[in-house]
Chain A
Amino acid sequence: MTDDADLDVRLPDAAALTRALDEQDYLTDLGLATALFLAARLRQPLLLEGEPGVGKTEAAKALARVLDTPLFRLQCYEGIDAGEALYEWNYPRQLLGIRLAEAHDTSLEQAELFGPDYLLRRPLLQAIEHPGPRPAVLLLDEIDRADAEFEAYTYELLAESTVTIPELGTIRATHPPVVVLTSNRTRDLHDALKRRCLYHWIDYPSPRQAAEIVRRRVPRSAEPLAVGAADAVARLRSLDMEKPPGIAETIDWVSALTLLGVQRLDADAAAATLGSIVKGRDDLDLVRTRGLSWLAGASHA
């Protein structure tokens, strides 16, 4: 297949993908790069797990940018069903079609009424029908939030890259999408799903790497500030917080600090912007008790 040859050129190995992701301002380690690389080249779905805010969703987006293909994202939630994930018939249009046919005194076959013209395509179907030349990236975000029935419903897509619509039959992907699933582990995913997927657990990045990521995402930030904030976040994670800050919050925090013209993190600056990094009153109390100068790294206690 031509698209595969193209993909081979774009992604010769995991190290090349690391560099390509880097160019897209997504810094990663060899582990995640290998996982994404194998997902694309083996065309196996990839299950990404990790604490909230480590960049699971970003990884899929960055991969789509590297491949220069569209990203189809489906945010899962409890009660999501085929109508929201796969397809829905365009009922108002169908009714209108029937009426028009009546008015023009022509007959409208059932096959026309339930044909592609009247189909509303949702993300899963869009990803399957993506014409190429390279496969689309399909992101099933927070699959653990969907209920188990929906999880089972995705098996056909994950295993065969096909979807079945009763009125139209089975639609087979010409370019099977690269599927990335993310989970926050709110519930145990079914074995049948895990079996079909490659698996990668994303750890928090090291402070040094976090600082680099922040610098990329907030280009106007001063380097000492990014380093200071990344260290402070690492210190925060050592506290017993309800909601330990992730990399996303770190970026928000540094953006806020930069906007305020802060060049270097200190206790005052931290106090003014604490709301962007610490969410929740209990956590705020905890941090204030420990001391803002400790957070800013003044005293190495």
Chain B
Amino acid sequence: MREDPASIVPLELAVGLTTLLHQGGVPVTPERAARFAEALPLAPPYGRQQLYWTARVTLVSDRSQLAVFDALFAAVFDGRLDPSDSRGDPTAPPAIGSEPRERPAARDNRPVGGPGDLPEPTPRVASPGAEHADEDGPEREAVLAAASTDERLRETSFADLDPEDVAGMRRLVRRLVLSTPLRRTRRSQPLHHAGERLDMRRTVRAAQRTAGDPAHLVYRRRRRRPRQLVLLCDVSGSMEPYTRVFLSLLQGAVTGAGAEAFVFSTRLTRLTRQLSLRDPDQALTRAGATAPDWAGGTRLADSLHRFLDSYGRRGLARGAVVVILSDGWAQDDPELVSAQMARLRLLAHRIVWVNPRKAARGYAPLVGGMAAALPYCDAFVSGHSLAALEEVVAAVGADDSWHDERKS
């Protein structure tokens, strides 16, 4: 080994840098920090470049973290930040302060109206308990399920729901089961009657029992799996009355059907990871914190473009059922919307458009983005109420004949 830089105390450097990254929001595990410390003597930081790359390769785990990493690295090593609080005793307590960030926020940001502002007492028994409903789950859900048979609530548009009904509605919506049509995979499963292909592995195993004579033939067939489900939800201002419920639909789809969820208004945000948390409230809070453009304008064509470029074309939309929840009121040129929908059409197995405005009397999809997008959709449903969401479920699961492999 050559001399000095190799003898930089790797552990302290690692702990200091990781702590800063942690505070900056890059989740660096202790394992990665240790790996960095291990790598430092191997690739001694003779210059800023080498140190940068060693740190980046070991500490960063996703492209999305690069911006923060670069900024922090520049701040520390180009001297725009005094790293004094990262020096010294690496075990000093105050440094690592990342955990408490999320917990308190989760409750505050609950999207449902607080217990204080009930506009009018409603006849149904369960309503006042809505806010502490998390623990008394089963009972409450039973009541709501019963209530849901009440035609009034079933048919009520999400936009007209009383704030205290929203919580219950969200819980119901979350439990809607979205299941996509099946497609054949490459994997196989055993069949107990004659089928297309012999399962050699199982046949040979069975043959051992009959002195090597393959008397019992085991067949197999291609296993079938549901198609990928992708949900794109418009969260622009015009959709606001509906998004609070639609997000629960997204969440149910992510946790229940392994769907991929995106929201868009002026930009596109992937929410699959945030929505996959067990605790629905926390999941929604995370989601809210991730997408910065809630209730903004709509850039439909642009968002579709982003989706197709970054995810769709790479495989996410191929052979998938794509559900777009949007009113189609977009700022951009209908022709651009049309072009992007055409691209999506080439990839997706089925496109379902959910437009809550469709339910309004006299609505016709004549304007702008909606008119441009419609020719490319396989189904056009309203989804504005619980009853209407059942149409969405049906539209997503439609043509469950896996004979049509033309498209896949």
Contacts and interface: CB of A to CB of B under 8 A. Distances in A.
B49 to A, nearest CB: 6
Nearest to A36: B57
B58 A38 contact: yes
Contacts of A186: 311, 314-316
B61 A195 contact: yes
A94 interface: yes
Contacts of A197: 61
A188 B39 contact: no
Nearest to A29: B53
Contacts of A276: none
Interface in A15-51: 30-31, 34-35, 37-38, 41-42, 44, 46, 49
Contacts of B66: 201
B132 interface: no
Interface stretch (B73-81, B207-215, B238-246): B207-215
Interface residues of A, number: 48
A243 B343 CA distance: 13
A150 to B, nearest CB: 10
Nearest to A142: B315
Contact of B185 (A78, A99, A194): A78
A89 to B, nearest CB: 6
A198 B63 contact: no
A110 to B, nearest CB: 7
Interface string B73-104: 00000000000000000000000000000000
Contact of A42 (B38, B211, B310, B311): B38
B204 A91 contact: yes
Contacts of A200: 56-57
B336 to A, nearest CB: 11
Given A77-B186, A78-B185, A186-B315, A42 B63 contact: no
A200 B57 CA distance: 6
Contact of B53 (A34, A42, A194): A34
A1 B53 CA distance: 28
**B49, B273, B310 pick with most chain A CB within 10 angstroms:** B49
B212 A13 contact: no
Interface string B33-73: 00100110011100001100110111011110010000000
A199 B57 contact: yes
Nearest to B55: A34
Contact of A95 (B39, B212, B309): B212
Given A194-B61, A199-B57, A199-B61, A242 B313 contact: yes
A278 to B, nearest CB: 16
B200 interface: yes
Contact of A102 (B43, B54, B212, B315): B212
Ranked 4 nearest A-B pairs via Cβ: A79-B186, A98-B212, A186-B315, A91-B200
21 contacts: A13-B42, A14-B53, A34-B50, A37-B42, A38-B57, A77-B186, A81-B186, A81-B187, A89-B201, A91-B201, A99-B212, A102-B211, A145-B315, A187-B315, A188-B270, A195-B31, A198-B57, A199-B62, A200-B56, A242-B313, A243-B313
Given A31-B57, A38-B42, A91-B203, 11 more contacts: A77-B186, A78-B185, A78-B186, A91-B204, A145-B315, A185-B63, A185-B314, A186-B311, A188-B270, A200-B57, A242-B309
Interface of B: 29, 31-32, 35, 38-39, 42-44, 49-50, 53-54, 56-58, 60-63, 66, 185-187, 200-201, 203-204, 207-208, 211-212, 214, 260, 270, 272-273, 309-311, 313-316, 343
Interface of A: 13-14, 30-31, 34-35, 37-38, 41-42, 44, 46, 49, 77-81, 83, 88-89, 91-92, 94-95, 98-99, 101-102, 108, 110, 113, 144-145, 184-188, 194-195, 197-201, 242-243
